[in-house]
Structure 1
Amino acid sequence: MTKETQSALLNALEALTRLPRSARKWMVFGFDCLLCLIAAWVAFALRLGEWPHDLHALLILTATTLLFWTVIAWPTGLYRNLIRFSGARASGRLFYACALLGIPLTIIFGFIQIDGVPRTIAVLHPIIFFLLMLFLRLSLRFVVSDYLHLARGRTEERRRLLIYGAGRGGQQLANSLRQEPHLVLVGYIDDDERLSNQQLDGITVWHSSILDSVLEERRVDEVVLAIPSALRVRRREIVEALQARKIRVRMLPGIGQLIDGHFAVSDIRDVQVEDLLGRDAVAPNELLMGRSLLSKNVLVTGAGGSIGSELCRQIIHSRPKRLILVEQSEYFLYAIEGELRRLALAEGCEVELIPELADVADRDSVFRIFRRWQPETVYHAAAYKHVPLVESNPIAGMRNNIFSTLYCALAAEAVGVRRFILVSTDKAVRPTNIMGASKRVCELILQARAQEQNKTLFTMVRFGNVLGSSGSVVPLFKQQIAAGGPVTITHREVTRYFMTIPEASQLVIQAGGMAEGGEVFVLDMGQPVLIRDLAETMVKLSGLSVCDATTPEGDIEIVEVGLRPGEKLYEELLIGHNPAPTVHSRIMQAREAVHPWNSLSDILEDLTDYLRHGDASEALSILYKLVPEYNRPAYEAAAQ
């Protein structure tokens, strides 16, 4: 075969693989119709000992077979993944469908006499039809997949890939890999000893205990984790072991993240730090999730922020009657409204979405929104959370955090809101910065209002850092690594608690469902993480190495820049001790003293005056009075 002919053939085959899936299905179905006619011809010839002359009987058999084949084959999914057809399992499905086909044919041609059609044709025809279709599919697999592998492999380097996980996801991925000319699947690794040395569609499964020897002997370039249900701790162990051998690691997403529930090469993605940190998900308590949301008017402040937007997504799943999105950023409000409309449509959720562009630190705006929409449940997530920015802008920080909470709480009481949930932070515990102290005042306000006789149940939910939120170290480290470093940390001993945004949001909603009034709920954040360890993990996940004293030839340096104003070495979640358990294993209730509203309201009036006149010094003095445990930074104390 000349190079020109080979190139033309390869281009034609690649064009075939790029055809829409529906076009490939109909193309193969057309071939099957032709094979059905051929099978009928051959069946008659075998039965009669000569080529058939009765075209009428031949057409009756063919038409009847195609009618029942269409009814059987399409619903059972035989026309999915045609070019990836391979192995005993796929052949078994095809045989099973042909066996089903034989039942109506036997009834029609075996028991009900049709002129010109022998009874044994009902048995012969499905068998011949099966063999012809099997031949067609194996030919497609070889020509379109294997031939492309061989031809492209001569001129292009092919990466040798190992799949970790021989379950359904791994096997679906293996079938998809047959279409990829640049990848060679060398086998599976699995923790299940029962699969050791087994063959799955001709591919060997090795036990994970001999991973080292498999990597070396098979010259593996890359490992794909196809273990979507594995615990995070196990996933972390595997990734760390492979990183130590300088093997690239990628992974398949969880089955719930797929549109059609099937894995393909395009689903492979790099391992993210979120895949390794945090805890394994616990199924939410649907009763607690729906108690505050189902068929209710729900309002979320800060709806476009990291936590607020995820709260809105989770709320949509619980089918509220109306969701009011309050956000002061036009762009974020536009983005989250559009996303939620698409999500509601996909979920079949008939929810009324109300976008409100407003500053929740403006009393008149807050009361106008609450009076107009009459919410029954409120999640107050709007706040300034960036510690250095609030430290540099104390007036704006205190005004936004404290008075948005105060005005929303008073408006909630005025219109009879049933549940009001404040999204708080671990930085409110023995704060060392203005942001944390201001959030502690927010908690004090709600605790005090909860003591008053009113319909609204006020509650607070306190938790630590969430992975991927705005201002989190995770996106910052990603940017620094992409730029070639250095990665900056403030101190090598800094630790933080981390939780994924979806888990935090679900727990906030469930804690709100438990509210009886005045509680401070604290989320179980798991184990704290050294920020330096986090930075090293992210560097390695990027396929790079850390440059330090032991490995001066490394790619990315990690540099300490010193603690920022108001920053702690470690965070706390409890002011008191011995938190009380709740009905949810990851939600605790703190036991803390409460300030009476009468004394608190007078101090807040003074704070309002100082903030209105821009007197930061006096405003901070009020903050120290409200939060006596606020440990003012040394540089600030020296300036007094």
Structure 2
Amino acid sequence: MRFSTRAIWRPAAADALLVALTWLLAFLFRFSLLRNDAPVNLAQILWISTPLAAVVWVAALAGLGVYRTPWRHTSVPEFKRLASAMIVAALALAAVLLLLRLPNFPRSIVLLHPLFAGAALLGLRLGARILAEGRLTRSTAQGKPLLVLGTLDEAARALQSLRSSKGWQVAALISPNRGEVGRSVQGVRVAGSVDDLARVAQAQGASHALIASEPGSPARRELLLQASDAHLALLTLPRADDWLQSGVSGGGGQAPRQVELADLLGRAAVQLDVRGLSSLLAGQVALVTGAGGSIGSELCRQIARFGVRQLVCIDSSEIAIYALEQEFKARFPELAVRYYTANVREPERLLDLFKRHRPAVVLHAAAYKHVPLMEDDNAIEALRTNVLGTLGAARAATASGAQRFVLISTDKAVNPTNVMGASKRLAELALQAHAAQHPETHCCAVRFGNVLGSSGSVVPRFAAQIAAGGPVTVTHPEIVRYFMTIPEAAQLVLQAGLMGESGNIFVLDMGEPVKIVDLARLMIRLSNKTEEEIPIHFTGLRPGEKLFEELLADDETTLPTPHPKLRVARQAELAPLDLPALQAWIAASSADSPAQIKAALHALVPEYTPQ
């Protein structure tokens, strides 16, 4: 790595001067303070050895990379590097002097000088660091007062990141551990525990609090909820992917960001196999059904990162596919994309599109997913779209020579109590039956829980209710759901397409479930409202709704995969579905009542228990 000459010669010149001065100081100490007789050739010794000492020391410091870091950024790793360089310099200088054999050279200088030089060089860098921190403190003294919430260790990391973030002044620390109250870190005192947050904020005049707990730490979610009771604007430090997306390095001191709903997940974001996904998609044609939806559109965005030759987007909604087209023209102008308005319930249209483009990878996101809407009057529509649509897309993929087909399923397919969940479970079974008959196409399904911010989820509904002044409606105070972010969901689908055997059903380790009422409370507080202003009303469970969702059925076990967050669901052996009979039943059920459809569905999906 090359460095600016100017950036090196100035500190090197200063170090050379210090080494020379401390070399003379060592002689002064040796012969004056210790009252020893100086040799007659002292002037000759100093004339030769002083510049020699400066050259050897600076060469050792430069060789071991001491000048790579400006003095003002000196920290523990730089001090360690400096100490190593000083040892090397002292030994090298001793060796050179031994070879020169200067007459009457006092050997004690070789021991005295490193002490003086080391103290001077360390002091110079420490002084530069103190001066830089003093300037930074003065520059942030006029910033907004900020409270930092977290343990001492977490606060120390946050303070280090906040040093170069302008506009904020850390007024006090708040620790979840009462035993840490009264202690301090980097000159900032722990003024109280979480229960004291409102009092400390008022005393310090702070309107913002920063959550210092690491993403994914067990205490983070609880700390968020406790902190939101104080009616402060909640902030957190940017994630590494925030730095990457904004083009700012982690050392650049990117400003704290507002707390997001994703911070409630209680686990770190899932990291997937980017290299493997690139090898799967680069140079290939990829096709996405339901491409205009929340998951489908994010799948398209993720695919665009991996250098596909062409992306084919299919959706039944004209406005959704138009919005996707406008976005991709602006974000990915060089990407070859085709946009089609087509319904997965039309197998002939699907087959034509698939054969026209010959996709290597098919991601099937098209589905009806709203539980109450699909429960009675629209039960037959759920079967037509979720079951026959899946089967039609899988057959078109096989007929067009696709290598991989991935069905997006749901945790509601496990021990379903509603038509939507039962239809997705039946779609899984139909896909497994198709995969057994057509091994040339790798077919799998991916189950995950609710997606934060997806269309029709509780987040947009809560946001609209809050904007309207409330109330926010929650079905039950104890209802819980597993959540993931939209990018996680899309990446998981891609990852599943890369792994496992045909017919597999993949599930994600989604951490701890989230109480829906906690989600509602946090959204209210993030909107700078209180529950007195925006009340929460409990309306009772809706038709087909469960208090909790499961990712695996009772008769299923899981097997590990190469990815620590992905597992394969293994269910009990079932007789393969008769696919022609399945199609015939759904086609003949148009006039059946919801009760008749549910009874027939129960016969095909034994774990389905209609409410």
Normalising by structure 1, report the TM-score.
Answer: 0.66
| CA shift for structure 1 position 418 | 4.7
Q: Is the 8 A contact 1:327 1:359 kept in 2?
A: yes
In 2, distance between residues paired with 1:110 and 1:248?
A: 65
In 1, distance between residues paired with 2:395 and 2:326?
A: 27
Check if 1:301 corresponds to 2:288: yes
- The residue number in structure 2 matching 1:243 is 228
In 1, distance between residues paired with 2:106 and 2:354?
A: 80
Equivalent residue in structure 1 for 2:362, among 378, 383, 395: 378
Q: Is the 8 A contact 1:425 1:463 kept in 2?
A: yes
Q: Is the 8 A contact 1:370 1:411 kept in 2?
A: yes
In 1, distance between residues paired with 2:197 and 2:430?
A: 62
Equivalent residue in structure 2 for 1:602, among 578, 584, 595: 584
- The residue number in structure 1 matching 2:535 is 557
Q: Is the 8 A contact 2:23 2:53 kept in 1?
A: no
The residue type equivalent to 2:25 in the other structure is L
CA gap 1:374/1:321 in 2 versus in 1, 3 angstroms? same
- The residue number in structure 1 matching 2:18 is 39
CA gap 1:427/1:307 in 2 versus in 1, 3 angstroms? same
| CA shift for structure 1 position 533 | 3.7
- The residue number in structure 2 matching 1:159 is 145
Equivalent residue in structure 2 for 1:424, among 401, 406, 409: 409
- The residue number in structure 2 matching 1:147 is 138
Check if 1:467 corresponds to 2:452: yes
In 1, distance between residues paired with 2:329 and 2:555?
A: 38
- Tell me the secondary structure at the aligned position of residue 446 of structure 1: helix
Residue deviations 1:349-388, cap 9 Å, x none?
xxxx763323453656643554466555533113354568
Residue deviations 1:90-146, cap 9 Å, x none?
78457536625735762686445599x99959745554344333323322322x123
- The residue number in structure 1 matching 2:124 is 132
In 1, distance between residues paired with 2:341 and 2:389?
A: 8
In 2, distance between residues paired with 1:505 and 1:468?
A: 13
In 2, distance between residues paired with 1:199 and 1:97?
A: 32
Residue deviations 1:138-172, cap 9 Å, x none?
22322x1233355x3xxx7x515235144478336
Figure out how many residues of one structure are paired with residues of the other and give that number.
Answer: 559
What is the root-mean-square deviation in Å for CA atoms of aligned residues? 5.6
In 2, distance between residues paired with 1:459 and 1:145?
A: 55
Equivalent residue in structure 1 for 2:394, among 381, 395, 409: 409
Residue deviations 1:481-501, cap 9 Å, x none?
4x3732532644694523203
5 Å-filtered alignment, 1:1-12, equals: none
| CA shift for structure 1 position 301 | 1.3
In 2, distance between residues paired with 1:459 and 1:131?
A: 63
- The residue number in structure 2 matching 1:10 is none
Check if 1:186 corresponds to 2:176: no
| CA shift for structure 1 position 546 | 0.3
Normalising by structure 2, report the TM-score.
Answer: 0.68
In 2, distance between residues paired with 1:114 and 1:340?
A: 71
| CA shift for structure 1 position 599 | 1.8
Residue deviations 1:42-70, cap 9 Å, x none?
346536769x9999998776666555544
- The residue number in structure 1 matching 2:569 is 588
Q: Is the 8 A contact 1:279 1:499 kept in 2?
A: no
5 Å-filtered alignment, 1:491-570, equals: 491-492=475-476, 495=479, 497-501=481-485, 503-505=488-490, 508=493, 529-547=514-532, 555-558=533-536, 568-570=544-546
| CA shift for structure 1 position 597 | 1.9
5 Å-filtered alignment, 1:120-519, equals: 123=114, 125=117, 127-142=119-134, 144-149=135-140, 152=142, 158-167=144-153, 170-171=156-157, 173-174=159-160, 176-177=162-163, 180=166, 182-187=168-173, 189=175, 200-203=185-188, 212=195, 219=203, 221=206, 223-228=209-214, 231-232=217-218, 234-246=219-231, 249-254=234-239, 258-259=243-244, 262=250, 266-277=254-265, 293=280, 299-302=286-289, 303=291, 305-308=293-296, 311=299, 324-328=311-315, 329-332=321-324, 335=327, 355-359=337-341, 361=343, 363=347, 366-368=350-352, 370-371=354-355, 374-385=358-369, 404-426=389-411, 439=424, 442-443=427-428, 445-450=430-435, 452=437, 455-478=440-463, 480-481=465-466, 483=467, 485-489=469-473, 491-492=475-476, 495=479, 497-501=481-485, 503-505=488-490, 508=493
Q: Is the 8 A contact 1:40 1:62 kept in 2?
A: yes
In 2, distance between residues paired with 1:436 and 1:230?
A: 29
CA gap 1:408/1:581 in 2 versus in 1, 3 angstroms? same
| CA shift for structure 1 position 583 | 0.3
- The residue number in structure 2 matching 1:611 is none
| CA shift for structure 1 position 183 | 0.9
Structure 2: any 5+ residue segments left out of the alignment?
A: 33-42, 316-320, 561-565, 603-611
The residue type equivalent to 2:584 in the other structure is D
The residue type equivalent to 1:580 in the other structure is E
Check if 1:96 corresponds to 2:83: yes
CA gap 1:485/1:110 in 2 versus in 1, 3 angstroms? farther
In 1, distance between residues paired with 2:278 and 2:322?
A: 31
The residue type equivalent to 2:324 in the other structure is F
| CA shift for structure 1 position 295 | 8.0
In 2, distance between residues paired with 1:185 and 1:98?
A: 39
Residue deviations 1:178-219, cap 9 Å, x none?
7656413535747698x998765455679x9x6657986795
- Tell me the secondary structure at the aligned position of residue 471 of structure 1: coil
Q: Is the 8 A contact 1:519 1:590 kept in 2?
A: no
The residue type equivalent to 2:214 in the other structure is P
Q: Is the 8 A contact 2:379 2:597 kept in 1?
A: no
The residue type equivalent to 1:146 in the other structure is T
CA gap 1:130/1:431 in 2 versus in 1, 3 angstroms? closer
- The residue number in structure 2 matching 1:346 is none
Segment of structure 1 superposing worse, 242-251 or 410-419: 242-251
Q: Is the 8 A contact 1:91 1:134 kept in 2?
A: no
Segment of structure 1 superposing worse, 63-72 or 411-420: 63-72
Residue deviations 1:468-519, cap 9 Å, x none?
22332224434554x3732532644694523203554565566666765556
| CA shift for structure 1 position 423 | 0.9
| CA shift for structure 1 position 305 | 4.0
In 1, distance between residues paired with 2:442 and 2:152?
A: 50
In 2, distance between residues paired with 1:366 and 1:118?
A: 92
In 1, distance between residues paired with 2:86 and 2:302?
A: 46
CA gap 1:140/1:515 in 2 versus in 1, 3 angstroms? closer
In 1, distance between residues paired with 2:253 and 2:389?
A: 48
Structure 1: any 5+ residue segments left out of the alignment?
A: 1-21, 343-352, 548-554, 608-617, 632-640
- Tell me the secondary structure at the aligned position of residue 171 of structure 1: helix
- Tell me the secondary structure at the aligned position of residue 525 of structure 2: helix
- The residue number in structure 1 matching 2:606 is none
Q: Is the 8 A contact 2:149 2:212 kept in 1?
A: yes
In 1, distance between residues paired with 2:220 and 2:500?
A: 36
In 2, distance between residues paired with 1:371 and 1:261?
A: 45
Equivalent residue in structure 2 for 1:78, among 63, 69, 90: 69
- Tell me the secondary structure at the aligned position of residue 535 of structure 2: strand
- Tell me the secondary structure at the aligned position of residue 411 of structure 1: helix
In 2, distance between residues paired with 1:111 and 1:569?
A: 87
Q: Is the 8 A contact 1:522 1:590 kept in 2?
A: no
In 1, distance between residues paired with 2:596 and 2:348?
A: 28
- The residue number in structure 2 matching 1:16 is none
- Tell me the secondary structure at the aligned position of residue 485 of structure 1: coil
| CA shift for structure 1 position 461 | 3.5
Q: Percent identity?
A: 27
| CA shift for structure 1 position 176 | 3.3
In 2, distance between residues paired with 1:366 and 1:507?
A: 25
